[in-house]
Chain A
Amino acid sequence: MKEKIKQKFSLFLYHGARIALGIVFIYASYDKILHPATFAKVIYNYQILPGELVNLSAIFLPWLELIIGSLLIIGVWLPGSIFISNILLIIFFCALMYNKARGLDISCGCFSTGTDDGFHSNFNILRDFGFIVISLFLFFKVFISDSPCGRGSS
């Protein structure tokens, strides 16, 4: 009985995390898909990518977010989308940390293309870290754990 509850709880956590992360990604992609030019400026301001890659990222990154967000919610191609979600979130984390270390005061561009998300950079970093924890949890579930929810999801 106890084992059953535990399993149910774990399954609940897993699906909850998957759907929550999916919503986060879709929400993050929405404004950027609508305003790629403004998003390009945000990317440019990070001063990390070479100029040639700025527009390409602004065009494709939001779609990548939308598609892995959708896949996470629908629950198909989970290994692929969870793998990409981990990589993306870790890249975002590094970019935020890098610019924090450089003391660059720029807009995050995390959830909107506006010049100011209204949040402090520390908050953005912490928030991204939270997403990484969720994403790593899913990674663990799908790639490592032997629990039934990790298997069978194609």
Chain B
Amino acid sequence: MIFINRQIWTKTIKQVFFIALIVLVAGFASNRLRSDKMPLVEDWSAKSNLVTSSGENLEISLSEATNLFKKGEAVFIDARSMAEYDAGHIKGAISLPYKEVDWKFVEAMAGVSEESAVITYCDGETCELSMELAVFLRNAGYKNVKVLSNGWSAWKQNGLPVETGE
């Protein structure tokens, strides 16, 4: 029976130990040798995710975003799904679901000049759609793109103008 057969368990423990040893060596070695080494421990807090690979922080604070909104100086882009957008979004925001960005991009961004301030948002602190969309837009030529972290929730909680429907 399983617990009586002591021999096989001793063997198993030994093997697990050696497998772990090999994995440690292989993992360390491969990580050291590769050009894009990773630090073994890294800061994975929500904020650090809003920094591009070139080190630029794309985050915009809620107060800054609100200011731009009031002056009408920024275009808000909703990176969530169409259904979520319909259920409620920042007033005047354009819907550009990141998952459909490839074929919705041209139509959605038609009226937005590359020079204008663009703020992407989604929902939840760890939602990555807005950041991914921001990187996409920057690559597409938009020079002034920012991410409003936890955008939809923060916006709603502060009682800022919202609207529903398409």
Binding site for B on A (CB under 8 A): 33, 36-37, 40, 44-45, 47, 51-52, 54-56, 58-60, 63-64, 66-68, 71, 77, 79-81, 83-84, 115-116, 142-144, 154
Contact = CB atoms under 8 A, between A and B. Distances in A.
Contacts, number: 80
B27 interface: yes
Contact of A79 (B15, B24, B31, B45): B15
A123 B7 CA distance: 38
B14 A80 contact: yes
B5 interface: yes
Given A45-B126, A55-B39, A55-B40, A64 B8 contact: no
Contacts of B99: 116
B38 A64 contact: no
B106 interface: no
Interface of B: 1-2, 5, 8, 11-12, 14-16, 18-19, 22-24, 26-28, 30-31, 34, 36, 38-45, 99, 126, 128, 132
Contacts of A59: 27-28, 30-31, 38, 40
A84 B21 CA distance: 14
B36 A33 contact: no
B42 A71 contact: no
Contacts of A60: 23-24, 27
A79 B11 contact: yes
- Across the A-B interface, the 4 shortest Cβ-Cβ residue pairs: A80-B15, A51-B44, A60-B27, A79-B12
Contacts of A36: 31, 34, 38
A107 to B, nearest CB: 10
B99 to A, nearest CB: 8
Contact of B22 (A33, A67, A144): A67
Contact of A144 (B2, B15, B43, B132): B2
Given A36-B31, A51-B43, A60-B24, A45 B19 contact: no
Nearest to B124: A104
A122 B41 CA distance: 32
Contacts of B18: 77, 80
A33 B34 CA distance: 11
Contacts of A83: 12, 15-16
B33 to A, nearest CB: 12
B38 to A, nearest CB: 5
Given A40-B38, A63-B30, A83-B12, A144 B1 contact: yes
Nearest to A53: B41
